[in-house]
Amino acid sequence: MKQGKVYLVGAGPGDVELLTLKAVRAIGEADVVLLDDLVNREVLRLARPQAKVVEVGKRGGCRSTPQAFIEKLMVRLARTGKTVARVKGGDPFVFGRGGEEMVALRAGGIEVEIVSGVTAGMGVTAAMDIPVTHREICNGVSFITGHTRDGHQPDWRALAAGGTTLVIYMGVANLDAIVGGLLEGGLPAATPAAAIQNGTLPSQKSVVATLSGLSVAMANAGIGSPAVIVIGEVVRFAQSGQMALAAVA
């Protein structure tokens, strides 16, 4: 029996029109689609009618499919000749466990191809008209996870001093610690900040505030996970950003 193949597919931040042509082709070729929880279910229209769909969702605070089980399942399916599309939100290699899965698949002798996607830190910010880089304002962008596997916090003091736009994934649950760490690290309390929930989707909600007022602003707006947090002067470009900042300054 000919051995199958696994595609690690990035489905983007939500809007299906942000899928790449290569992602569309990979999903359409698949015998089995392993679908993450945050992926827009409209992508299933791209799959073949006979394709099997397996939910392997992962979301903070909810019961999740064990990572080891997902990796073993992909290896087993490919060894039986199946073409597998492991479809993830955003990009597989940006906080998507794609690196772990690539290593596990190659260790099992399985052919694997990475299909890049629009990561949330780019697609969601663009939906808010926030340029994560701007040559007159900041010297770069840092993508950071607010939820590490071992529970250790990033070096917020170093990030505060770095001069980059901060785009924080999975940071809602640890927001107070993040804001406190950045303030202690010297980032001004009046630094513009934004939070975007369900970015690029019709259900998108967002709020623009100062760093020190972000937690209260998010609570008042009813914004929770999944949300992307953006901190830096570029947030002033956000839709209605100037008015919102003036209101909380």
Which residues have a catalytic role annotated?
36, 58, 170
Give every CB contact of residue 194 below 8 A, 6+ residues apart in sequence. 128, 130, 206, 207, 208, 209, 229, 230, 231, 235, 238, 241
- Give 79: exposed, middle or buried? Use CB within 10 Å, 0-12, 13-18, 19+: middle
Instruction: Give me the half-sphere count of Cα atoms (radius 13 Å) on the Cβ side of residue 189.
Output: 6
- Cβ contact 127:33 at 8 Å: no
| Residue whose token pair is 């840092």 | 142
What is the DSSP pairing of strand 32-35 with strand 83-88? parallel
Distance CA 103, CA 249 (A): 48
